[in-house]
Amino acid sequence: MRKTIAFLFLLALVYGCKSKRPEMGPPQLPVYTAKSEQIAISKDFIGQTYGLFDISIRARVDGYLEGIHFEEGGNVKKGQLLYSIDPAPLDAKVAEALSMVAQAKTNLVKAESDYKRYKPLAETNAVSQTDYDAAVASYGAAQASLEAADASLDYAKIQQSYAKIYSPINGIIGRSEAKVGDYVGREPNPVVLNTVSRLDTILVQFHLTELQYLNLVQYEKARRTVQEGPKEEKAEVILFFADGSRHSELGNVDFVGRNIDPTTGTLLVQASFANPNRLVRPGQFARLRIKVDDPSETLLVPVKCLQEVQGEFNAYVVKSDNTVEFRPVEVGETMQDMIVIRSGLTANERVILEGINKVKSGMQIVPVETEFKSVRNNQ
């Protein structure tokens, strides 16, 4: 009897707790109102920076490095002495070549003397024609030997001059790949000793896909058709750094590769930028932005509002009765954290900003209007 009463009391207690539990209402979710803006469509590309000239400093003769005559990482002038290699072996080759020239000159004097002595005698048949021909041949051979010795001397002096290495341009020099006392100029020892870069203009190389290239060409053709006046303006390029900051100077595309690389399906493109403060250095990460369409009314929403499934994009739209509607959309260019909507949405429609994985079509929600601060507005 006691067990029955305790059981009934427990049931009443559980039922009473359930009846007092409050019912859950529709969830509150942040929504974003799609806005139409007058913007120019741009495309971002990733590239790498190079100096206007990046010239390798090479050891053109092998030998022991005798001196380094610059400050690593500093500025150098054209014609400034950078490295000196032990010249002793090269000096010895010059001395040897000089002795060969002296010997060739002595032989030439003797051969010329014999030729001049035999010539009048041959005219009166006082010597045989054979002896005269031998004198002529010896004279010619001596002249050729002197020319060869002079050429060997010139080559030895050229090699001797390579013992001193000078800067080919004004620029900034990097870290030396060899130290004083190292044997350089022959593999596996260092051959490229350093690099000098001219940085008053910086180059950025990047790649376009074939489709991107065709789109840009079509845009350029259309722009030039409507452009007034004979002057042809180059497309301007904006440069951003790894930290998101923007380069102060605009650039221009000045080189387009000859062909599409069949292995990658991309085309090499190069843009140049003025670099008056030498801020940009070779090898930096660079993000480039190029305008691909003129300003027009464009619908933008945050990228986080969309779901992508197998290349198809969709959004959850909040209707006037606060119910959720699943809707496919067609997208265009991505602009930082915003994306262009080509079709599927209209201006002032509300889309769920966060929590799209928690909703389904037909579900009732409590929309919370939320502002989205895009990083695009800071650039």
> How many structural domains are present in the chain?
3
Judge if 360 and 283 occupy the same domain.
Answer: no
Q: What integer pLDDT is reported at residue 250 of this predicted model?
A: 92
Is residue 191 one of the residues assigned to a domain? Answer: no
* pLDDT surpasses 60 at 258: yes
What are the backbone angles phi and psi of residue 4, rounded to the nearest 5°? -65, -45
Judge if 233 and 204 occupy the same domain.
Answer: yes
Is residue 82 one of the residues assigned to a domain? Answer: no
Is residue 4 one of the residues assigned to a domain? Answer: no
Judge if 282 and 315 occupy the same domain.
Answer: no
* pLDDT surpasses 70 at 21: no
Q: Which of 109, 136, 161 is the last residue of a domain?
A: 161
SS (H, E, C) 191-209: CEEEEEEEEEEEEEEEEEE
The fraction of the chain above a pLDDT of 90, given in percent, is 45
What is the rounded end-to-end Cα distance, in angstroms, of the chain? 80
Judge if 273 and 335 occupy the same domain.
Answer: no
Is residue 60 one of the residues assigned to a domain? Answer: no
Judge if 251 and 307 occupy the same domain.
Answer: no
The backbone region for 63, taken as left when phi is positive above 0, alpha when psi lies in -120 to 50, beta otherwise, is: left
Q: What integer pLDDT is reported at residue 294 of this predicted model?
A: 67
Judge if 215 and 247 occupy the same domain.
Answer: yes
Is residue 142 one of the residues assigned to a domain? Answer: yes
Global confidence as pTM: 0.67
Q: Please report which helix (H) or strand (E) contains residue 273, including its range.
A: strand 266-274
Q: What integer pLDDT is reported at residue 229 of this predicted model?
A: 47
Q: What integer pLDDT is reported at residue 374 of this predicted model?
A: 78
Mean pLDDT of 33-47: 83
Judge if 215 and 279 occupy the same domain.
Answer: yes
Q: Report the CATH number that the domain containing residue 230 is assigned in CATH.
A: 2.40.30.170
Judge if 204 and 259 occupy the same domain.
Answer: yes
Q: Which of 291, 320, 339 is the last residue of a domain?
A: 291
Q: Report the CATH number that the domain containing residue 152 is assigned in CATH.
A: 1.10.287.470
Give the mean pLDDT of the chain: 85
Q: What residues make up the domain containing 260?
A: 43-51+199-291
Nearest-angstrom CA–CA distance, 242 and 231: 35
Judge if 369 and 285 occupy the same domain.
Answer: no
Is residue 359 one of the residues assigned to a domain? Answer: yes
Beta-bridged to residue 272, according to DSSP, are 203, 252
Q: What integer pLDDT is reported at residue 230 of this predicted model?
A: 46
